[in-house]
Amino acid sequence: MHSPYAGPQSLPGGGQLQATWTTTAFLGARLWDGGEFYFNPELAQGFGLNGTLGLAGFPNGEAQKAGAAFPKIRAQRYYLKQTFGLGGEQEEVADAPNQLAGKRDIDRVTLVVGRFAIGDFFDGNSYAKDPRADFMNWAMWASAAYDFPADLPGYTRGAVVEFNRKDWAVRAGLFQVPDAPNSDVLNFKTGGAVVEFEERHSIFDQPGKLRVGAFANSGNTANYREVLDLAAANPALDINDIATATQRDRPKYGFYVNLEQQIVNDVGLFARASWNDGQNQILSFTDIDRSVSSGLSIKGSRWGRPDDTVGIGGAINGLSAAHRDFLAAGGMGLLIGDGQLNYRHERILEAYYAYSVMKNVTLTADYQLITNPAYNADRGPVSIFSGRLHAEF
């Protein structure tokens, strides 16, 4: 890629090859009427490109910030789930990861307490949610400007409550946040909260869902404008040292809108838009303050491959004025930092073909084109080619 200069967290101009793998066991038990316990130990190895640094919309959703050169096991999920049925019509529940087969009331209240990923319960989407199966880019499978609380592998501890009806649901959660940006230590001193409303509908008999969420975090972060002012007044000091020294409990808030819509049988559309205030450092996810994404998912039934999937999507990511000025002055973000910045929106195109080798085994070819990587028009564009093998037993 074109690279006239590079900083400590820049993608290497000469290119790079990396590999990651994860193996997860999904274990669940029914404890009593409505009570379930789930446990997901995970074994992982490998790193994302450049140690998962250099792009805000990072291209590998399985690349954890807690990468390991040798296999490393972590207890990623352990939580208790209690469902209180409210009577009336029931629905079938299929056997699936972290879901025990059976029946449940459609009208119900569900409480979850333990360790999990916020994406397990919020910001879901049938067409762009699982980097093991569909889109791989972080700005595709999540509302990228939602700085959701998480440790380095992407998990937190907290509680979720949901009230479900046939045509809508409302859910809310309270979670631990890291004790500093990009920290692997979750603490009880501050926290994050999110509330999501989900509406279910049909358009010309084609099902769809609209999710709207609002979030607020309180974490140990620095304020971009304060850091810039102190750096201007003290040019001998390093701007990143100033940022670390001025970290204290500060808020971050925002919203996301998430749509999934079946257009015809085997063809679905997804779209997301998200925003955060962009005044204080990102705490957990990635360096994005505004993001829009959209795309199509097409099953292969029309060419005799009903278990294959083609996906194509795009995302545009942006920063607040204070955030871009901080990076331009040499500041380092969670994933990016070229030492200087010729700011433009980061633009991402992703296309994949998931080929069903046999039942529960899928081989995927994925291509991503990213212009203005890390919002820098002086660098890039970059092409990223990926292969993914996924198996379930």
pLDDT at position 190 = 83
Q: How far apart are CA 147 and CA 288, in angstroms?
A: 8
Q: Is 212 domain-assigned?
A: yes
Nearest to 210 by CA among 219, 228, 197, 222: 197
Average pLDDT over residues 121-133: 96
Q: Is residue 13 one of the residues assigned to a domain?
A: no
Residue type, 375: Y
CA dist 35 and 29 (Å) reads 9
As a whole number of Å, the CA-based R_g of the chain is: 21
- Residue 301 inside a domain? The answer is yes
What angle do the packed helices 224-233 and 321-328 form, to 10 degrees? 40
Q: What is the pLDDT of residues 142-167, one digit of tens each?
A: 999 999 999 999 999 999 999 999 99
| 368-389 average pLDDT score | 97
Q: Which pLDDT value is given to residue 119?
A: 96
User: Does 5 fall in a domain?
Assistant: no
Share of the chain above pLDDT 70, in %: 100
Tell me the per-residue pLDDT of 74-87, one tens digit each, with 9 for 90 and over: 999 999 999 999 99
Rounded average pLDDT over 342-365: 97
pLDDT digits 0-9 by tens, 85-123: 999 999 999 999 999 999 999 999 999 999 999 999 999
Residue range 289-315, pLDDT digits in tens: 999 999 999 999 999 999 999 999 999
Domain count of the fold of the chain? 1
Residue 11 lies in a domain: no
Average pLDDT value over all residues in the chain: 96
pLDDT, tens only, 64-73: 887 888 999 9
The C-alpha atoms of residue 291 and residue 143 are separated, in whole angstroms, by 7
- Predicted local distance difference test score (pLDDT) of residue 313: 98
Region 232-250: what's the mean pLDDT?
96
Within 10 Å of residue 264's Cβ, how many Cβ atoms? 9
Domain contains 134: yes
Q: Once rounded to an integer, what is the mean pLDDT over residues 12-33?
A: 95
In whole angstroms, what is the distance from residue 393 CA to residue 391 CA?
7
Residue 12's pLDDT is 93
The reply to whether 2 falls in a domain is: no
189: domain CATH number? 2.40.160.180
What is the pLDDT, as a whole number, of residue 330?
A: 96
**More reliable by pLDDT, 201 or 182:** 201
* Confidence band, pLDDT 50/70/90 cuts, at residue 198: very high
The predicted pLDDT at position 91 comes to: 95
Establish if 133 belongs to a structural domain.
yes
Q: Write down the pLDDT at residue 66.
A: 77
List the beta bridge partners of residue 255: 214, 275
pLDDT of residue 189: 81
Place of tokens 């660098």: 379
Tell me the pLDDT band of 187, cut-offs 50, 70 and 90.
Answer: confident
pLDDT at site 358: 95
What range defines the domain where residue 146 resides? 20-391
Residue type, 325: D
Question: Euclidean distance between the first and final Cα of the chain, in Å?
Answer: 40
Convert the pLDDT of each residue in 267-286 to its tens digit: 999 999 999 999 999 999 99
- pLDDT tens string 28-69: 999 999 999 999 999 999 999 999 999 999 999 998 887 888
Round to whole Å and give the CA distance between 8 and 199: 44
Q: Tell me how far apart the alpha carbons of residues 347 and 18 are, in angstroms, rounded to a whole number.
A: 22
